Amino acid sequence: MSTSLVLQYVVIALLVAASLWTALRKLAPRTTARWQAAAAAALLRPQRGAFAQRIGRLVQPKGATGNCGDGCGTCGTCGPTNAPADARADASSREQPVTFHARRK
């Protein structure tokens, strides 16, 4: 195999790994946070070098504080909390019931 083919396979493997990680972060945020915490704990051991500990601090997941400011987005309730009352009324007035009609012969 030529060097350019090996380089091509490495780039494709990195892209597939990055897309897999992104999908897992979206679909299983708690699991990936647990994996990140385990990797960070392994790198932050005192017997590790300074470079490994620096990488461990970068890999370590941010702790959720339980409020909407931490940006976790898992509960789906983060957003504008003080929406004007007339905006909610406009949304309800735009709703229309769905009616089904029989086919014409």
Quick: pLDDT tens for 7-44. Answer: 999 999 999 999 999 999 999 988 998 998 999 999 99
- Exposed, middle or buried: residue 59 (CB in 10 Å: 0-12, 13-18, 19+)? middle
Q: For the chain, how many structural domains are there in total?
A: 1
Residue 88 lies in a domain: no
Cα atoms in the Cβ-side hemisphere of radius 13 Å centred on 76: 1
Residue 96 lies in a domain: no
Quick: pLDDT tens for 43-101. Answer: 999 899 999 999 999 988 877 555 665 555 656 666 555 555 555 556 666 778 888 88
Residue 10 lies in a domain: yes
Please report the pLDDT score of residue 105 as a whole number.
80
1 pLDDT band, cuts 50/70/90, is confident
Residue 39 lies in a domain: yes
Residue 89 lies in a domain: no
Residue 2 lies in a domain: yes
Domain ranges, residue 17: 1-44
Q: Which residues, at least 6 apart from 64, have a Cβ–Cβ distance to it below 8 Å?
A: 70, 72
Please report the pLDDT score of residue 3 as a whole number.
93
